[in-house]
């Protein structure tokens, strides 16, 4: 079996896909795309993803045995789940519920948490107006409340089973701490259901392995 080729970096969006590859026990080769060095704009990468964003996969054994390139992390998760029959229920109701929460991450959690991190950490010395930081702080807290309410009396986002919705979402929650150093500022520990869920996700050996694929250069 030919290996899937992964082009990524260990951002929350990148971690989603390497976690899925590990959890689904798919063979793959990992290639680091260092966005800090603008490698995502190299012509060879742009050919795979015209939007110049990680991650991207190339599956030599795609539909009907033909090679396929897939970009957009949510689309990749759906593709891999359908390819393997894992972490996405075949029950129509549960399947749609999982896809709903995957799209909630793609359309809400990722973009809003990312903007929060930008203005809280990376642009704090470039923007002296309080509005952007306040706006994205409030929206991040609102989304955390939505997640916390959803996780009341649930082990994972869609009941008792770990799914691609969890793989997509929990790296972004973790990034509030390890990426933006904003855990205390956002009072994340007050969201008890989220904290317990994040711990459950991180108790999975293959998930932890996926988090460390294509690490940032520490130099």
pLDDT above 70 covers a percentage of the chain that reads: 100
Length of the chain: 219
CA–CA separation, 101 vs 164, rounded Å? Answer: 9
Q: Average pLDDT, stretch 12-38?
A: 97
Residue pLDDT, tens place only, 184-193: 999 999 999 9
Question: Model pTM?
Answer: 0.96
Span 31-56, mean pLDDT?
97
pLDDT score recorded for residue 219 = 59
Residue 138: its pLDDT value, please? Answer: 98
Outline where 24-109 has alpha helix (H). 43-48, 73-84, 92-104
Residues 32/110/183/148 CA torsion (nearest 10 deg): -130
With bands split at pLDDT 50, 70 and 90, how would you rate the model's confidence at 217?
A: confident
Distances (CA, A) of 198 to 6, 37, 115, 189, 192: 25, 31, 21, 11, 10
200: pLDDT strictly greater than 70 = yes
Q: pLDDT-based confidence at 157, cuts 50/70/90?
A: very high
Mean pLDDT of 194-199: 98
CA atoms within 13 A on the CB side of 109: 28
In tens, the pLDDT along 161-181 reads 999 999 999 999 999 999 999
Going along the chain from its start, the domains and CATH numbers come out as 4-87+207-211 (3.40.30.10), 92-204 (1.20.1050.10)
On the question of pLDDT at 218 being above 80, the answer is no
The pLDDT of residue 151 is above 70: yes
| pLDDT, mean of residues 139-143 | 98
CB-based burial of residue 205 (10 Å sphere; 0-12 exposed, 13-18 middle, 19+ buried)?
Answer: exposed
């Amino acid at each position: 079996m030919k290996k899937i080729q992964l082009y990524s970096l260990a951002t929350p969006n990148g971690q989603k896909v390497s976690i899925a590859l590990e959890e689904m026990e798919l063979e793959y080769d990992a290639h680091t795309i260092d966005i800090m060095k603008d490698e995502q704009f190299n012509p060879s990468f742009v050919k795979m993803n015209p939007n110049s964003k990680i991650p991207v996969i190339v599956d030599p054994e795609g539909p009907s045995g033909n090679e396929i390139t897939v970009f957009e992390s949510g689309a990749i998760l759906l593709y891999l789940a359908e390819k393997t029959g894992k972490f996405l229920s075949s029950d129509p109701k549960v399947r749609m519920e999982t896809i709903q929460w995957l799209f909630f991450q793609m359309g809400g959690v990722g973009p809003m948490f990312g903007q929060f991190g930008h203005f809280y950490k990376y642009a704090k010395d470039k923007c002296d107006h309080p509005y952007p930081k306040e706006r994205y702080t409030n929206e991040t807290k609102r989304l955390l409340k939505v997640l916390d309410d959803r996780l009341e009396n649930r082990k994972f986002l869609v009941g008792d089973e770990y799914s691609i919705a969890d793989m997509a979402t929990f790296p972004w929650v973790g990034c509030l701490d390890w990426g933006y150093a904003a855990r205390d500022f956002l009072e994340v520990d007050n969201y008890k259901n989220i904290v317990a869920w994040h711990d459950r996700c991180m108790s999975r050996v293959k998930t932890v392995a996926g988090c460390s694929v294509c690490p940032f250069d520490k130099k």
